[in-house]
Amino acid sequence: MLEIETTRSSFTYDDTRLMALLKIQTEMLKSIHDFLYEKKLVQLMPVILSPITDPLNHSVYDASITYGEQKFQLTKSMIFHKQLAIGATSGPGIYIMSPNVRLEKETMQQSGRHLFEFSQVDIELRGASTQDFMDFMEDLIIATLIHIKQKCSDEVAIFESRLKIPSKPFRVYNSFNLREQFGDDFEQIMSSTSTDFFWIMDYTREFYDKEDPERKGHYINYDLFYPYGFNEALSGGERDYEYKILLRKIKERNQDPQIFDFYLKAAKEGKLTSSAGGGLGLERFLRYILKKSNIGDICLFPKIPGQKVRI
Ligand code: ASN
């Protein structure tokens, strides 16, 4: 018997449940890899330390270290590496099984879906539009759920979860309209009242997401949501990649362009290109598959904000 103390409660797995969990996780990862392989995407190794990382759209504690003369950030997402890699390679796209560290505020403990160390499959498609990427991800989600249903029905049953295979296309909403209708908690309200996956478009976000050239203050981006209250699955967008636009947006956010010098130099030299992408949280996908309200219950070694880590 292996006992794993997780978040709010002390959840104990016996061997059967732990092995079932890990088998489902293994098949989930295999299915994602197989799907991306079939689509001829190439895989990059993860970057864990970098002079720059995703500035994110919400505030987290600093996670930087100094090595020699240089300061590094622990990766919050590999967005800049994805853009540089897409600019430097050919083919339809790239992906990374990317470990990310985001030192979330303690209040995030209540969400049931936040880890301060987690992994996402981070994907970027060359020259893709929003529609291309959404279509691609819907196929990936459906293929993976079908695969798990075929390979792991006994294991899924142990968790008393039922897997419904969604059909395409998923419904699409606009964040401004939803906020007007439901207030600031619109994502949770929508997710809790939905029985199918859905997209929300047009979030005011980081400088690398593409601003709509025809509608100032609007963005060509998206989040994917789980039904039954499981909330956010993925965020991403089409990208801005032109030097002047990136520089303007960095300055508008009072960020220091100097910090992004290498990335901006690449943009100035025309080495970035048009793409769309996003990151699907892997622990969150597994949590949804097993319908666990607490993400700590599907991780062997969870890092829950505000909770002491034992190993
Ligand atoms: N991976 C996301 C993207 O591609 C960014 C993120 O995780 N914040 O847009």
pLDDT of residue 1 exceeding 50: no
Domain, as residue range, for 79:
3-298
User: Given this model, what pLDDT does residue 16 score?
Assistant: 85
pLDDT at 2: 44
CA of 17 to the centre of ligand 1 (A): 32
In whole angstroms, give the CA distance from residue 11 to residue 159: 13
Q: What is the pLDDT of residue 207?
A: 97
pLDDT score for 310: 85
- Asked if residue 213 belongs to a domain, the reply is yes
51-70 pLDDT, tens digit each: 999 999 999 999 999 999 99
Share of the chain above pLDDT 90, in %: 93
- Mutual angle of helices 15-38 and 130-151, in 10-degree steps: 140
For ligand 1, atom 1, the nearest C-alpha belongs to: 279
pLDDT for 216-267, tens place per residue? 899 999 999 999 999 999 999 999 999 999 999 999 999 999 999 999 999 9
CA distance 13 to 3: 6
Amino acid 14: pLDDT:
67
- 86: CATH: 3.30.930.10
**pLDDT tens sequence across 277-309:** 999 999 999 999 999 999 999 999 999 999 999
Ligand 1 atom with minimal separation from the 279 CA: 1
Does residue 12 surpass a pLDDT of 80? no
Q: Which atom of ligand 1 is nearest to the CA of 209?
A: 9
Work out the angle between the directed axes of helices 282-290 and 130-151 (0-180°, nearest 10): 50
Tell me whether residue 307 is in a domain: no
Query: What confidence tier does 38 reach under pLDDT thresholds 50, 70, 90?
Result: very high
Average pLDDT over residues 191-215: 97
Q: Which one is predicted more confidently, 292 or 3?
A: 292
State how far the Cα of 122 lies from the Cα of 236, in Å rounded to an integer.
9
Higher-pLDDT residue of 217, 78: 78
Mean pLDDT of the chain, nearest integer: 95
* 11 pLDDT higher than 70: no
Tell which one of 235, 240, 285 to mutate to probe ligand 1, the residue whose CB is within 8 A of the most ligand atoms: 235
Q: Is residue 204 part of a domain?
A: yes
> Is residue 240 in contact with ligand 1, taking CB distance under 6 Å?
no
The answer to whether residue 304 sits within a structural domain is no
Domain count, the chain: 1
Return d(Cα 52, Cα 305) in angstroms, integer.
23
For residue 7, name the pLDDT band (cuts at 50, 70, 90): very low
Distance from C-alpha of 271 to C-alpha of 254, rounded to nearest angstrom: 24
Does 311 fall in a domain?
no
Average pLDDT over residues 198-207: 97
Confidence at residue 311, expressed as pLDDT on a 0 to 100 scale? 87
In the chain, the N- to C-terminal Cα span, in Å, equals 18
pTM of the model: 0.95
281 lines ligand 1 (CB under 6 A): no
Does some domain include residue 310? no
